[in-house]
Structure 1
Amino acid sequence: MMIYALQVELTKDTLKFLQKEASKKNVAFSDKKYLDSLFLPAGIIGRRNEALQLIEYFESMKKGLMVPAISIYGRSGSGKSTLVRFLCDNMYHNMEYCFVNLRRARTLFGCANMILGELGCESLVSADGLDKAVEKVGNTIRSILDNTQKKFFILVLDEYDIIFSDKRGNPSDFIYKLLTLEESLREQDLWLCIITISNNALMEYNLDDRVKSRIGNSEVFFEPYTASDIFSIIRSRSEKAFCRMPDDSVLEKCAELAADGHGDARRAIDLLRVAGEISNGRKITEKDIIKADQSLQVDRLKTVIGSASYHQGTIVRTICEILLENESNTTITSAIYQRYCDKLGEKSLSYRRVVDLLTELVNSGLLHARNISRGRKGYGTEYTLVIPLELVGLAIGKDWWYDQLESKELMDSVNASIGRRTKQGSLLAEMMKTSRLIKKYDTMEDLADS
């Protein structure tokens, strides 16, 4: 017999109560926008060397040299996108720019449509083809420059590494089409520079020689923020965001937690925001920061698992299975790839692509990677779950996780039973020894007969 729970009716009084409860979370803030990770500040703390490199590339335009492609790379939360937006908004008024985040794209054609959308154009249907989409991108850029009487255009493609997950497409050919577009615009005395922002350098991907020769080596690497950098960033924002300024010791704790991950300033800002919501108007303490860190781990886990592609989700499940079976906290790339291939067979991605997906999981904060020496086998990468295995398993799916636990319990029971028998009389060992002796005896008889 099923028992149904009665649902609470949503009335005006209920709405007022919910509004009152929600407003408690904002009592601590004077201006919460400064704790929005997407907020573009009036000034950038640090990143002087990276800014200088980009400015040198931009300044070369005045001397007639336009770098066709600039590859910006570094770990998540290292300020790549923020710095590029800041420079384009504040430095050059003789050029136009378009910032496109490709994170939600799943195919090369989807990437082209997202570029068209940010340029203010209607999307094309897949039947139109990628060539027509790139051609429309070029025509639109040309039209924008003609209307504004400008000569320079910067096309910023954030999360660019997503295009390499399109197994059916040809990412290298897509880049080649964009570079060819740049050359055609240059013939009309119009200059296009493509800036790619990702976790890895553009040259690290499997590109055609014709592409490599065109993009050159114009790269800007962003080192992870140090705890000192993060402290300066969150202190500047806290002064404007909170009614009661947190103590420096609290901010130092927040910076330390973010730096211990991989120098993610975005995570530190999120920690402060959640801690402020937890405090209910009190001055933030270190305990609030710790509670916020635990809360964000669960939220991040839901986001990573929920937005994972089919192959990335399979890799996460594979890692969980290996760690559970081995009762270990770590596993290595080769073990992950072997189990992944056993699962998918011919549908498996290449080893290199799986490594890229593992890197994305590291950058998302789900995994921690460490290079290890394997003696004669060379060096390898060891992966550890940052979040407890049980939480990850439950986030994948309760039914799936409970099935894994039951299978593990069954295997442990069988192994324990075998262990008892072995201890009592080494039954299994004796059986295997007898089997080898029988095989050896049969072989000897065969030789004698011959």
Structure 2
Amino acid sequence: MNLDDIKKFGDQLDKENDIFADKSALDTLSTEPPKSLKGRESESREFMTHLYGFKKGKVPPLISVYGRSGAGKSAIIKYVCANLDFVKPLYVNLRETKTVFGAAQLMLLNISNEHVKNSQGITVVMRQLREALKKYFKSNDLFVLILDEFDSIFHDTRGSPSDLIYKLVEIQSELLRFKKQICIVTISNNVLSDYDLDDRVRSRIGNSEVFFKPYGEGEILEIIKTRAQIALNRRVSNDVLEYIARLCTLEHGDARRAVDLLRICAELAGKDDSVIKKKHVDEATKSLQVDRIALFLQTTSLHVKLILLALAKRTYGTDEEWHATAVLFDRYRELVPSGIHPVEYRRFSQILVEIENYGFIFSRTGSGGRRGYHTKFRLDVSPTIVGETINKEWWDKNAVQQKAGVSNVNKIINDAKHSTTMPGLLRKLKEHQEGKW
């Protein structure tokens, strides 16, 4: 590529980007508090009610904020805290770490820019965190420590999330002697009490919770209308915006996904030098699905990957949508590499719920007659995308080729079923092949 090529390509990109007036309005990854927000008045009021106890000398030690991904949790919490004059907030995203020690280290780094060696242990980190907090804020301020993606530390099989919470609450108690109040806000997909916490922790943190329900279609439409007016130079028809809102509402009421979808649609329309059309929405949906699963799998645990792989392989191989928890658990255990302990059934069920909260699977509970109620799960993204993203070589060998082999066996069976003298043997052969899924 020479200088003329660079200039020509740059001019082309400038032309494609003419569709945008302010692309930052479609940024869903910003850590800064938003300038304004649509909706979520009831959730904002509920959260503010907890914080305003500070003015009378008492706030909850911990507020559990929970709801599905894209429900506006982080944006609302940051927006409210940034606009209360008595609050000094600090936002820490624990998705950047995968361990309890790493979470404590990240808090210390954000507060005092200090770093502790792994060999010194979490006790040293917490001691330095306590000393840093004594200097960090004034006694007439409420310090709000916002811990986003808090559920990520519960994947740490070596550390103790309960112990981390207990140590934080102990620091709170100690700082009260200096007339300094701290409120910890955990943001996650599940309410904190759903996790395995020590009784001593449960009794200390109380039950202050704020639930964010999924956005409705009208709410998502208002959000993307506002963003489109700020971000784009070209008018977007109501039909297209309503189409985006409808698609995202049918999935999980995910406003973040709707904004991302609008951005990708605009980029595609810019390349076509046209207004945004429904065909751009369809193209963007496919692109976003690939990006979403790839981003999730880059940061998630091995067991989550194996559970998704088990569900994807069974969905692909059987062409069935819904699969029972017990069946998936058996398939997952078969995929766990030697030398690694599979999670127990209870934890397996919890992980399925967590994956559902991220928007990758759906669940339904129905009656099994005498066997009681059971839960089944359905993959909400293409099984091929899941399989190829996790391990394409393995997927081609153990899913694609195996399904082709089963199809050949089924064809032989179907061709021979009226003439064979051994129907029982053929039936067993078919059952054996299907059982591999």
Q: TM-score, normalised to structure 2's length?
A: 0.90
Q: Is the 8 A contact 2:172 2:181 kept in 1?
A: yes
* Structure-to-structure mapping, 1:35-54, within 5 angstroms: 35-39=26-30, 40-54=33-47
Give the aligned partner of residue 432 of structure 2.
none
AA aligned opposite 1:37: T
Report the CA distance between 1:426 and its aligned residue: 4.2
In the alignment, which residue of structure 2 is the partner of 1:6? none
Kindly indicate whether the alpha-carbon contact (under 8 Å) linking 2:65 and 2:185 is maintained by their aligned counterparts in 1.
Answer: yes
Separation of aligned partners in 2, 1:431 and 1:193: 66
Which residue in the other structure is 2:389 paired with? 395
Deviation by residue 1:375-418 (Cα, 9 ceiling, x = unmatched): 33333332222222223322233322220222233344445556
- State whether structure 2 residue 205 is matched by structure 1 residue 233: no
Q: CA deviation at 1:420?
A: 6.2
Structure 1: distance between partners of 2:11 and 2:368 = 58
**Pairwise mapping of residues 95-106 of structure 1 onto structure 2 (< 5 A)?**
95-106=87-98
Report Cα offsets for 1:16-75 as digits up to 9, x if no partner: 233233334311111111111145432221111111111111111111112100000000
Name the aligned partner's letter for residue 73 of structure 2: K
2:155–2:301 Cα contact (<8 Å) kept:
no
Check conservation: 1:102, 1:159, Cα contact below 8 A: yes
User: CA offsets per residue over residues 80-133 of structure 1, 9 Å max, x none?
Assistant: 000110111111x23322110001211110111111122132221111111111
Shift, 1:306, TM fit: 3.2
**Residues 117 and 380 from structure 1, CA distance in 2 versus in 1: closer, same or farther, beyond 3 angstroms?**
farther
Larger mean CA deviation between 229-238 and 329-338 belongs to 329-338
Judge which range, 378-387 or 173-182, deviates more: 378-387
Q: Distance between the aligned counterparts of 1:432 and 1:302, measured in 2?
A: 40
Q: Name the CA distance, whole Å, in 2 between partners of 1:286 and 1:431.
A: 49
Say whether residues 1:364 and 2:354 are aligned partners: no
SS at match of 1:347: coil
Q: Could you tell which deviates more after superposition, 111-120 or 360-369?
A: 360-369
- Bigger CA drift: 234-243 or 320-329? 320-329
> 1:35–1:270: 8 Å Cα contact kept in structure 2?
yes
Deviation at 1:423, TM superposition (A): 4.8
Distance apart, 1:151 and its partner CA: 4.2
Question: Could you say which residue in structure 2 is the equivalent of 1:4?
Answer: none
Query: How far is 1:264 from its partner?
Result: 0.5
- Alignment of 1:89 onto 2:78: no
162-171 vs 387-396, which moves further = 387-396
SS of structure 2 residue aligned to 1:76: coil
Is the CA contact 2:313–2:387 (under 8 Å) kept in the aligned structure 1? no
In the superposition, relative to structure 1, how do residues 376 and 123 fare at CA in structure 2: closer, same or farther (>3 Å)? farther
**C-alpha distance after superposition, 1:207-231 (max 9, x if no partner):** 1111111111100000000000011
- Counterparts of 2:373 and 2:311 in 1: how far apart (Å)? 20
- Cα RMSD after superposing both structures: 2.3
Residues 202 and 296 from structure 1, CA distance in 2 versus in 1: closer, same or farther, beyond 3 angstroms?
same
Cα separation, 2, equivalents of 1:95 and 1:432: 70
- In the TM superposition, what whole-angstrom CA distance separates every residue of 1:341-390 from its partner, at most 9, and x where no partner exists? 23337611233332333233323333223333323333333222222222
Pick the aligned partner of 1:294 from 262, 267, 286.
286
Paired residue for 1:320, among 312, 316, 336? 312
- In the alignment, the residues of structure 1 paired with residue 354 and residue 92 of structure 2 have an alpha-carbon distance, to the nearest angstrom, of 19
Matched residues, number: 421
1:431 Cα deviation after fit: 11
Larger Rg: 1
Range moving further from structure 2, 269-278 or 321-330: 321-330
Give secondary structure in 1 for the equivalent of 2:386.
helix
Contact 2:220 2:245 in 1 (8 A): yes
Structure 1 segments, 4+ long, off by >4 Å, are: 414-423, 430-433
- Whether 1:20 and 2:11 are equivalent positions in the alignment is yes
* C-alpha separation in 2, matches of 1:334 and 1:104: 32
Map Cα deviations across residues 226-280 of structure 1 (whole Å, 9 max, x no partner): 0000111111111111112212222111111111111000111111111111112
> d(CA) in 2 for partners of 1:46 and 1:249?
22
Q: Do residues 407 (structure 1) and 402 (structure 2) align?
A: yes
Q: 1:430 to 1:324 in 2, by over 3 A?
A: closer
Q: Which residue of 2 aligns with 1:383?
A: 377
Whether 1:72 and 2:65 are equivalent positions in the alignment is yes
Alignment partner for residue 252 of structure 1, among 242, 247, 265?
242
How many angstroms apart in 2 are the aligned matches of 1:270 and 1:151? Answer: 36
Distance 1:387 1:431, change over 3 A: closer
Q: 2:401 & 2:182 partners in 1: Cα distance? A: 58
1:157-208 CA deviation, whole Å, 9 max, x = no partner? 0000011100112211111111111111112221111100000000011111
Q: CA deviation at 1:296?
A: 1.1
1:430 CA drift (Å): 7.3
Shift in Å at residue 421 of structure 1? 6.4
Which stretch has the larger CA shift, 242-251 or 368-377? 368-377
Does the CA contact (< 8 Å) of 1:158 and 1:196 recur in 2? Answer: yes
What is the alpha-carbon distance in structure 1 between the residues aligned to residue 28 and residue 385 of structure 2? 25
Q: Could you tell me which of 291, 297, 307 is aligned with 2:299?
A: 307
Alignment of 1:57-68 (within 5 A): 57-68=50-61
Task: Provide the C-alpha distance between the structure 1 equivalents of 2:368 and 2:70, rounded to a whole number of angstroms.
Answer: 31
Q: Secondary structure at the match of 2:91?
A: strand
Tell me: CA distance 1:427–1:275, structure 2 relative to 1, closer, same or farther (3 Å). same
Of 311, 325, 333 in structure 2, the residue corresponding to residue 341 of structure 1 is 333
Change in 2 beyond 3 A, CA 1:382/1:17: farther
- Indicate if the aligned counterparts of 1:159 and 1:198 stay in contact, CA closer than 8 A: yes
Residue 337 of structure 1, CA deviation: 1.4
**1:144 equivalent in alignment to 2:136:** yes
Q: Which region of structure 1 is more displaced relative to structure 2, 31-40 or 410-419?
A: 410-419
2: CA distance, partners of 1:286 / 1:416: 40
AA of the residue aligned to 1:35: L
Distance in structure 1 (CA, Å) of the matches to 2:384 and 2:213: 32
In the alignment, residue 109 of structure 2 is paired with which amino acid?
G
